[in-house]
Structures are given as C-alpha cells and as structure tokens.
Amino acid sequence: MPEETTAQPPRTIEDLRALALSIGRDQADVSLGSKAQDVFARLVEAPEQSAVHSISKLADQLGVNPSTLTRLAKRLGFEGFADFQAVFRKAIANDQQYFYSRQAGRLLATRSVDNAEVEVFERQAWETAANVDGFLGQLDGPSLKGATTLLANARRVRFHGVRQFHSLASFLTYGLGMVRSDVALLDAPRLGVAEALSQLENGDVVVVASCAPYTRSVAEVARIAAANGQTVIAITDSRASPLVRPAEHAFFIPHASSFYSNSMGAYIVFCEALLNLVARELGDKALNSLAGRERLIAEMNIETD
C-alpha cells in the first residue's frame, strides 16, 4: 500500500514552515511520528544547511539514516528528497536574505587565534548575529500582529519561564509593565502555578518560553493554560517544541553558539522588538504610562545624576 501523501507538496519555505506548524498541532492532512516531526522542524529552521548539504551529510547531522529523509520527503508529497531539497535551494537563492549568516560562517572559518580572548567575544557576537538572521527569516507578519494585539489589549498578561528562561520572563515582565498595567510573572508570589492559573480568566494571556532541552513543567503550563481558556503565546526554538501545540502564536528563535549553555542573545533581540511593537500599538497609552513611571522615579529620588 503506498504511503499517504499531501495532494500538493509545498513549494516555498514559508509553506513548508506552515505545514510543520500545522503537523505539530494535529491540523494537517498528513501526520508524522515524533522523530520525523522533529527532523522536519529542524530542516525548515535551517534552510541554508538543508539546501547545500548532501542527503548523507544532513542525515548525519540529524542523527538519522538517509532513508529517513527520503521517506519524509515522500510522506510530504514530494517525488523524492531531491524534489524536497529544491524548495530549500530556491529559498536561499536570494543571497541578501542569508547574508549575515554566510558572513559569520566565513569569518569564523578564517579567525586567527593570535588574540584568543577577544576572539571569544567576536565569535559569540557573530553567532548571535547568525541566530538573529535565523529568526528574521522565520517571522510571520500576521502572527506578530496577533501577538502584539493580545499583549497590548488583554486584561492580564503573565510570563512564565524557568531555569535560564526565568531571566527572559522577568525581562519581558519588566519591559511590558513599563507601558501597560496588570503584567506579572505567572507565579511571582511563589504560591504555585496552579494557584496562579486559577486566578486567570478567559482571554487572559500567558506567554511561555523554553528551548531544547525543554522544561516539562513549562510545557504543562502551556497546555493547562490553553485548556483553562487563556491565550498562549510561545517563544521557543522549533516547530517540534511541546510549547507549540497549545499556543495561538509561536515564534522560533535559534540558539546555536559556542556558549556552554543555550545562547540568549537572539531571544533578547526578539523580545525587545516585540515590546516595541506593543508600545507602538498602545500609542499614547504607552507614552502616558512611561511618563507616569518617570514622575514616580523622580519623586522617589531613585536614580543618581
């Protein structure tokens, strides 16, 4: 019996990414096993590598057999892997779109070790630039607009991340709290996430953040919040992330670098830009909120000259 395939295979990287997202949410006509879904997500998140490497090299990088990639391509409706790979090659034909990541790769390949201490900083900076380039290539305008509207207008907004992503959740809480009210960490009083979720109502927004290796509790918060009537926004790294399925909007930020943990640089850049969009959406309300904060800071003599 032939394998089930999609009627018309996607012919743009944007369509491939949309399909990967819908498969992760069980909204597509085609289904994939967890391993194939993860492979598919990783391919669409790094189109340059997917376009230029051989099937054997890609399979080695992904930790699978080349036959797995061939079966994946056919499962998605392509004639074979070459037909599948042609979509990625078309996506990177415009050199400008992937200029920064190429430049970073070229620079790192020729870096001298004469000034090793400075090289560590330069390498990290270029890797962050490549990660920023990676998320820029995946941004979806309607999703950004939808998330911006929610963050600006929802009655309550709560942020949740643990371990390394607790700092990102705190940054978002502080930044959004500068331009609107009723913004907080989900469990700021440390009474437990169940207690925190129970105080939220339908339409309130919960923003969750995590990347591989994912924290199980954060994925559970996303799932339960969505079931409880809250709108979930996910900031993560892959369409195969467990945060994606319950999220109304999901954003994908690469974190590959030489840092001994997950690199947060591109996540901060993304969050700063997202907060700017919210401030623009709020307009005069944001300006009034900032002015009120500045007045209180002056009255309490918080800052030094």
Angle among Cα 297, 196, 191 to the nearest 5 degrees reads 85
Hunting for tokens 């990676």 — which residue is that?
A: 134
Dihedral (Cα; 29, 15, 42, 186), 10-degree rounding:
-80
Same domain, 153 and 116: no
CA–CA distance, 257 with 131 (Å, rounded to integer) = 8
Identity of residue 260? Y
Residue 126 shares a structural domain with residue 189: no
User: Between 114 and 132, where is the model more confident?
Assistant: 132
- Give the global pTM: 0.76
Residue 303 lies in a domain: no
User: What's the CATH number where 277 sits?
Assistant: 3.40.50.10490
Whether residue 122 has pLDDT greater than 90: no
Domain end, chosen from 57, 75, 91, is at 91
173 and 280: one domain?
A: yes
CA 181 → CA 144, 189, 195, 276, 289, distances in Å?
A: 21, 17, 21, 16, 9
Last residue of a domain, one of 63, 91, 119: 91
pLDDT at 120 over 90: no
Q: Are residues 283 and 174 in the same domain?
A: yes
Do 69 and 215 share a domain, yes or no? no
The lowest-confidence range among 3-17, 20-34, 204-218 is: 3-17
* Domain assignment of residue 8, yes or no: no
Q: Are residues 219 and 283 in the same domain?
A: yes
**Where is the domain boundary, 59, 75, 91?**
91
Residue 157 and residue 286 in one domain: yes
pLDDT score of 62 more than 80: yes
Q: Is 186 helix (H, G, I), strand (E, B) or coil?
A: coil
| 1 part of a folded domain | no
**Between residues 3 and 117, which one has the greater pLDDT?**
117
**pLDDT band with cut points at 50, 70 and 90 for residue 112:** low
Nearest-CA neighbor of 154 among 200, 222, 218, 196?
A: 200
Instruction: Say if residue 222 is in the same domain as residue 292.
Output: yes
The per-residue pLDDT for 108 is 52
- Range of weakest confidence among 48-52, 197-201, 228-232, 254-258: 48-52
Q: Give the range of the structural domain holding residue 130, as residue numbers without chain letter.
A: 95-136
The rounded distance, in Å, linking the Cα atoms of 255 and 257 is 6
Nearest Cα to 210, choosing from 151, 169, 268, 246?
169
Task: Name the amino acid, one letter, at 199.
Answer: Q
The reply to whether 113 and 130 lie within a common domain is yes
Number of residues in the chain: 305
Q: Give per-residue pLDDT as tens, 227-265.
A: 999 999 999 999 999 999 999 999 999 998 888 888 999
> Per the structure, how many domains does the chain have?
3
The CATH number given to whatever domain includes residue 63 is: 1.10.10.10
Rg (C-alpha) for the chain, rounded Å, is 21
Looking at the fold, whether 191 and 255 belong to one and the same domain comes out as yes
Same domain, residue pair 166 and 195: yes
**Cα distance between residue 43 and residue 50, in whole Å:** 6
| Residue pLDDT, tens place only, 147-173 | 999 999 999 999 999 999 999 999 999
Strand order in the sheet with 249-252: 183-185, 157-160, 205-209, 231-236, 249-252
181 and 243 assigned to the same domain? yes
